[in-house]
Amino acid sequence: MTSKSLLLIVVLSLVLIVYPVLAAATYVPTQGDYFNYHEVESLGSGTGNYAGYTEQTVVDGKETMNSVDANGLVSATYGYSWTFTNSSGSAETGSQSGSYTFSSADYYYNNGTDDQTGYINPTVWFLMDNSIPKGGTFTLLNTEMTVESTSYSYYLPSQNRNVNSIFAQGTSSYERNDVYGQFNAEYTWKAYFDPTTGYIIGYEYVEHDTNSSGDGFTWTDTLYVTSNSYSLTAATSGSGGANSSVILNVELIATIVLVIVAIIIIIIALSRKSRRLPKHSPSREYSPLPSPPPAPQIDLTTKQPLVQQIVIKEVVKVKCRYCGALIDSTAQTCPYCGAPRT
C-alpha cells in the first residue's frame, strides 16, 4: 500500500469519526423523560383603559413522557397549579392535569394537548430537534423559530448557574380577540433547549398589544425548568452565546486540523523510513561498471642513506731500542722512555 493510499484511508476515517461530533444525531424521547418548570405570566405597561393595571399568574407544572411506541408516538401526561393576582385586588388559584400524545418524528400533537388553546395544528412547545444547526428553523406551537446559537450560555435561576443551550428566536404577530379585547399583538419568543436532548431549559416571551383606540399593554411569559431527567452542562457565566458558539467552532476546527497535520507528518516519516532502493527499469540498457583505477606500484627496495667510505691509513710500528715498546716508525722519540728512535 502506498503512502498516498494510506493517507486517504486515514483522512476518510477521521472524517467518519469527526462528522458525528459536528452533526449530532436527533434525540428520540424515552420513557421516563420529564421536567418540572416554574412560569410567570405578567401584564403591565398599560395604556388607555389598561393604564395603571397589572396582573400576574404564577404556574408550577410538570411534563412526563410515559411511553414511546415503535412508530415514535409519545404518550405523555401534564399537570400544573396556578395562582392569579391583579392590581384590582383579585386573587384566584387552580390546577389542571391530563394526557396527550405527540409524534417524536415531527413534534406535532397527535391526540390532545397539554392545555394549549387557540392554536391550529400546533407542535409541542417543550421539545425540538437538537441536530438542527445554527441558522436552521423549526416550529414551536405555531411560531417559526430560528436557531441563533448551538452553544449559548443561559443563566438558569433554579440552579443559579449558566448552562450550555441551543438558543432559538422567533418573531410574529396575530390578532387577539379574547377577554382582554381586540388587539394587534406583536411578539418575540426566545427559547433555550438542552443540546443533548432538545428538551426545554427556559424561555422568554414578550408581546405588545395595541389597538386603534389607544388601549394597550405588554404581556410577558418567562419559564425555566426547576428539575429534569436530562443532565445540563455548565457554561461560562454571561450571555455571550454567539461568541461562545464561534469560539467553540474555531477550537474544534483547529483541533481537527492539528490532528490531520500530525497524522500526515507521521505517515510521511514512516514512508521515508520504510523506503527501499528503486528497482532498475527493465528498459534501461546495461552498462558495465567503470574499470577501477590502477593500483599504485610498490617499490620493495630498501631506502637507506648513502654510506660515505672512510679510508684508514695504517702506520708501521717498531720497537724502541731502549725500552722495547712498540712505537710509530715515524716518531722521533719514544713516547714511553723518551729515548731517540735512532
DSSP class per residue in 107-145: -BEEE--SS--S-SSPBPSSB--TTPPTT-EEEEBTEEE
- Could you tell me which CATH number the domain at 29-236 has? 2.30.230
- The pLDDT score that the predictor gives to residue 321 is 79
In this predicted structure, the answer to whether residue 160 has a pLDDT above a threshold of 50 is yes
Cα dihedral 95, 98, 103, 109 sign: negative
- All CATH 2.30.230 domain ranges of the chain, comma separated, are 29-236
Assigned C-alpha cell, 272: 521515508
In this predicted structure, the answer to whether residue 9 has a pLDDT above a threshold of 80 is no
Query: What confidence tier does 241 reach under pLDDT thresholds 50, 70, 90?
Result: very low
Where does residue 115 fall: left (phi above 0), alpha (psi -120 to 50 degrees), or beta otherwise?
Answer: left
Q: Considering only CA atoms, which of 115, 163, 172, 177 is closest in space to residue 139?
A: 172
In this predicted structure, the answer to whether residue 290 has a pLDDT above a threshold of 80 is no
Assigned C-alpha cell, 242: 454567539
Helix (H, G, I), strand (E, B) or coil at 225: strand
In this predicted structure, the answer to whether residue 328 has a pLDDT above a threshold of 80 is no
In this predicted structure, the answer to whether residue 278 has a pLDDT above a threshold of 70 is no
Q: Are 200 and 224 in contact (CB under 8 A)?
A: no
DSSP class per residue in 235-281: --SS--HHHHHHHHHHHHHHHHHHHHHHHHHHHHHHHHHT--PPPPP
Query: What confidence tier does 291 reach under pLDDT thresholds 50, 70, 90?
Result: low
- The pLDDT score that the predictor gives to residue 319 is 81
In this predicted structure, the answer to whether residue 166 has a pLDDT above a threshold of 80 is yes
Q: Write out pLDDT tens, residues 51-108.
A: 999 999 999 999 999 999 999 999 999 999 999 999 999 999 999 999 999 999 999 9
Q: What is the mean pLDDT of residues 313-317?
A: 63
Highest averaged pLDDT of the listed ranges 10-19, 152-161, 301-310? 152-161
Q: Are 90 and 78 in contact (CB under 8 A)?
A: no
- The pLDDT score that the predictor gives to residue 275 is 45
- The pLDDT score that the predictor gives to residue 255 is 58
Q: What is the mean pLDDT of residues 208-221?
A: 97
Taking CB atoms within 8 Å and a gap of at least 24, the contacts of 135-140 are 138/107, 138/168, 139/107, 140/168, 140/170, 140/189, 140/191
Q: Are 67 and 75 in contact (CB under 8 A)?
A: yes
Q: What is the mean pLDDT of residues 246-268?
A: 56
Residue with cell 408581546: 207
Query: What confidence tier does 283 reach under pLDDT thresholds 50, 70, 90?
Result: very low
- The pLDDT score that the predictor gives to residue 314 is 55
CA torsion 161-162-163-168 (nearest 10°) is: 140
Query: What confidence tier does 310 reach under pLDDT thresholds 50, 70, 90?
Result: very low
Q: Considering only CA atoms, which of 189, 198, 196 is closest in space to residue 168?
A: 189
Residue with cell 438542552: 194
Q: Considering only CA atoms, which of 57, 54, 48 is closest in space to residue 81?
A: 57
Q: How far apart (Å, rounded) are the C-alpha atoms in residues 35 and 229?
A: 6
